[in-house]
């Protein structure tokens, strides 16, 4: 975290204080000597971010597709070598600019998105556990508590949170936890994604790349996120705060 002297102003008084501000770095990812993308990100868990990003963008299907991954944190350059010498050039030209703050990018294949198999809603969730885990999730985001400048994402089972990651971008935070699961060979069949941010269709696309059946956020979904979640059979819950939540898909799986 960086520290800056700032002025805190009220209507009738002002105060000079030292404020803690979240860090932001430009992370350039190269794959097989091809510069793929530069992500604006928090300078933590960057290998997980890259692995999750490559997976949700369709460049890899498992962590073992990667032969080598190297981070140069003096230039914020992350170099990846895949076992396959060629990457799918068609994906490089199919970019979708995300709905996040700034101009984030995901790569996608529209036909692949349209024809992904519908998931079965095979997870039953206790609403008390959902709200308890959301409270735990919010309380275990030190970057947000300290600066208010980051998003969080987490992977949980029906009873407890298993891993939490933070980033200045909500998409990056999601990619970080997905990258963690790939690097640690975690079975996602009955896992839940928690998010602090808005759920848009591009986030649903990332979930569709996994076999996770549920996503829960303290914020709102978009109309396209609701439509895609229903088409894909993904449990979608928004505004999970305090003692309430809104269920946009999968009500029959919440007890």
Write out pLDDT tens, residues 166-203. 999 999 999 999 999 999 999 998 999 999 999 999 99
Contact assessment for residue 228 and residue 205, using Cβ atoms and an 8 Å cutoff = yes
Whole-number pLDDT of residue 108:
54
% of the chain surpassing 90 pLDDT: 71
Contact assessment for residue 38 and residue 25, using Cβ atoms and an 8 Å cutoff = no
User: Which CATH number fits the domain 127-253, given the four candidates 3.40.50.1370, 3.20.20.70, 3.40.50.720, 3.40.140.10?
Assistant: 3.40.140.10
Question: Where do the domains of the chain lie?
Answer: 25-114, 127-253
Query: What's the rounded mean pLDDT across residues 227-243?
Result: 94
Whole-number pLDDT of residue 112:
55
Whole-number pLDDT of residue 9:
94
Query: What's the rounded mean pLDDT across residues 114-123?
Result: 59
Q: Catalytic residue, from 1, 6, 20, 101: name it.
A: 101
User: At a CB cut-off of 8 Å and minimum separation 6, what does 176 contact?
Assistant: 45, 48, 49, 52, 153, 165, 166, 167
CATH number of 25-114: 3.10.20.10
Query: Above 50 in pLDDT, residue 99?
Result: no
Fold: same for 25-114 and 127-253: no
Rounded CA separation 197/107 (Å): 20
Q: Which of 100-104, 108-112, 202-206 has the lowest mean pLDDT?
A: 100-104
Whole-number pLDDT of residue 84:
78
- Comparing 120 with 130, which gets the higher pLDDT? 130
pLDDT confidence tier of residue 115, bands split at 50, 70 and 90: very low
Q: Which of 35-44, 102-111, 165-174 has the lowest mean pLDDT?
A: 102-111
Whole-number pLDDT of residue 97:
44
Quick: pLDDT tens for 141-155: 888 878 778 899 999
101 is catalytic: yes
Strands 214-217 and 192-195 turn out to be parallel
Write down the pTM of the prediction.
0.88
């Amino acid at each position: 975290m960086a520290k800056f002297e700032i002025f805190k102003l009220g209507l009738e008084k002002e105060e000079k204080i030292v404020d803690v501000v979240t860090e932001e770095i430009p992370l350039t990812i190269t794959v097989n000597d091809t510069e793929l993308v530069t992500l604006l990100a928090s300078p933590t868990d960057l290998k997980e971010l890259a692995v999750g990003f490559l997976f949700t963008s369709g460049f890899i299907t498992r962590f073992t597709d990667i032969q080598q991954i190297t981070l140069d944190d003096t230039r914020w350059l992350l170099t990846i070598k895949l076992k396959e010498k060629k990457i799918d050039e068609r994906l490089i030209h199919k970019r979708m600019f995300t709905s996040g703050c700034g101009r984030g990018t995901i790569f996608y294949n529209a036909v692949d998105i349209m024809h992904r198999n519908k998931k079965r809603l095979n997870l039953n969730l206790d609403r008390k556990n959902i709200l308890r885990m959301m409270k735990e999730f919010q309380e275990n985001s030190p970057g947000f508590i300290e600066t208010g400048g980051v998003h969080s994402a987490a992977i949980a089972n029906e009873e407890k949170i298993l891993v939490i990651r933070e980033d200045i971008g909500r998409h990056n935070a999601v990619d970080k936890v997905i990258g963690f699961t790939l690097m640690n060979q975690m079975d996602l069949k009955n896992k839940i994604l928690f998010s602090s941010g808005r759920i848009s269709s591009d986030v649903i696309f990332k979930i569709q790349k996994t076999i996770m059946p549920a996503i829960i956020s303290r914020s709102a979904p978009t109309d396209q996120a609701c439509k895609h979640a229903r088409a894909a059979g993904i449990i979608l819950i928004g505004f999970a705060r305090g003692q309430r939540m809104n269920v946009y898909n999968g009500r029959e799986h919440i007890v």
